[in-house]
Amino acid sequence: MRVLGIETSCDETGIAIYDTEKGLLAHQLYSQVKLHADYGGVVPELASRDHVRKTLPLISAALTQAQLSANDIDGIAYTAGPGLVGALLVGACIGRSLALGWQVPAIAVHHMEGHLLAPMLEDEAPEFPFIALLVSGGHTQLVRVDGIGDYQLLGESVDDAAGEAFDKTAKLMGLDYPGGPRLAALAEQGQAGRFQFPRPMTDRPGLDFSFSGLKTFAANTIAAADDNEQTRADIARAFQDAVVDTLVIKCRRALKETGLKRLVVAGGVSANKALRSELQSFAEKIGGQVFFPRPEFCTDNGAMIAFAGAQRLAAGEHVGKQIKTYPRWPLEQLQVPGENAP
């Protein structure tokens, strides 16, 4: 079965074609970074308009890349939420309309389920059950995964997500948008230990996260420190070390409490080199395994949507003709494939 995946939840237009027998056949991605850079963040209306311009040409490019036509597509998966409502509507309307015109089923995919399953696109895919750390600009969650659609939320951020804290701190330091990757690059030049940042919510039981206070601590440190390149790099290093240590501590706690040894890390922040290194070292120490998607599938992309949609379509799940999007859609509301869609 060949499934066309459409991702338009925020500022990246992702299109892919996944074959349940042959794997990923095509992958097209357009980033709106340059469009939003002048504003220092995503402008929802501009994002929606750009998705309108780019989605259909990217679908054509994906079909050409896979050497397929519309007649070769067996289903269409699109991101229905969570995300920016206008951006979601673009992908949902196009996906549902094409499915109707091509006379194939359509499936509404949860954006975070796409991220959670992204490591399964790799040759060495994780087996169920496992703990998933979903860490991005909008979400920081620890989830127990016993199967596709069988999710138990163990902990989440009570305020800023980790990626959001990266971006806001980068902005405080005067770094260009997108700030998170730029702060991480600057941190590589920093000296460890010069500045000491707290590890929030690690001194109490539980698996929830809080990064808003860490951002405030960074703002105060920046204001009190000398303004030179090395100092900025040292502050970036201290901030990143604090975020990474916090995530590692919580992952360790989640694995210990559940007795599991497999950890999946996905979402935009999962591309962070320091986080990957620390979690890999930790997994080796406990005799466990950690799985990451390749860097190009850490950020939003159509491949993860096509894959997630294929799993649900294979189980007979699909949506009706009515187009619905879910800007706020808790992951734990999802059901095992084959059960009724939301």
CATH of the domain at 218: 3.30.420.40
pLDDT of 21: 97
Residues 135 and 271 in one domain: yes
pLDDT of 342: 43
Residues 107 and 18 in one domain: yes
Residues 26 and 139 in one domain: no
The pLDDT-based confidence of 341 (bands split at 50, 70, 90) is very low
Inside any domain, residue 273 = yes
Inside any domain, residue 91 = yes
Residues 136 and 239 in one domain: yes
Domain range for 140 is 127-292
Distance, in Å, from the CA atom of 108 to the CA atom of 177, rounded to the nearest integer, reads 30
Mean of the per-residue pLDDT values of the chain: 96
Residues 78 and 196 in one domain: no
Mean pLDDT, range 271-299, rounded to an integer = 97
Burial 243-268 (b: 16+ CB within 10 A, else e): bbbbbbbbbbbbbeeeebebbbbbbb
The pLDDT-based confidence of 339 (bands split at 50, 70, 90) is low
Mean pLDDT, range 159-172, rounded to an integer = 95
Structural contact between residues 82 and 2, judged by C-beta atoms closer than 8 angstroms = no
Structural contact between residues 131 and 143, judged by C-beta atoms closer than 8 angstroms = yes
CB within 8 Å of 294: residues ≥ 6 apart: 121, 122
Residues 203 and 169 in one domain: yes
Residues 109 and 158 in one domain: no
Residues 191 and 288 in one domain: yes
- 338, pLDDT greater than 80: no
91 annotated to a ligand binding site: no
Q: Which amino acid is at 122?
A: E
User: What pTM value is reported for the model?
Assistant: 0.95
Residues 100 and 151 in one domain: no
Inside any domain, residue 56 = yes
Residues 105 and 18 in one domain: yes
Percent of the chain whose predicted confidence (pLDDT) is above 70: 99
Inside any domain, residue 341 = no
75 annotated to a ligand binding site: no
272 annotated to a ligand binding site: yes
Percent of the chain whose predicted confidence (pLDDT) is above 90: 95
180 annotated to a ligand binding site: yes
300 annotated to a ligand binding site: yes
134 annotated to a ligand binding site: yes
The pLDDT tens digits for 13-63 are 999 999 999 999 999 999 999 999 999 899 999 999 999 999 999 999 999
Higher pLDDT, 99 or 335: 99
Inside any domain, residue 340 = no
Structural contact between residues 15 and 4, judged by C-beta atoms closer than 8 angstroms = yes
The total domain count for the chain is: 2
- 267, pLDDT greater than 80: yes
27 annotated to a ligand binding site: no
Inside any domain, residue 54 = yes
Give alpha helix (H) positions in the chain. 33-37, 44-66, 85-102, 111-117, 162-172, 179-187, 212-224, 229-258, 273-285, 302-314
Residues 110 and 136 in one domain: no
Inside any domain, residue 342 = no
115 annotated to a ligand binding site: yes
Residues 288 and 301 in one domain: no
Inside any domain, residue 30 = yes
Nearest to 262 by CA among 251, 270, 273: 251
- 281, pLDDT greater than 80: yes
Instruction: Look up tokens 């989440």; give the residue.
Output: 156
- 186, pLDDT greater than 80: yes
Distance, in Å, from the CA atom of 62 to the CA atom of 43, rounded to the nearest integer, reads 27
Q: Count Cα atoms within 13 angstroms, Cβ side, for 249.
A: 18
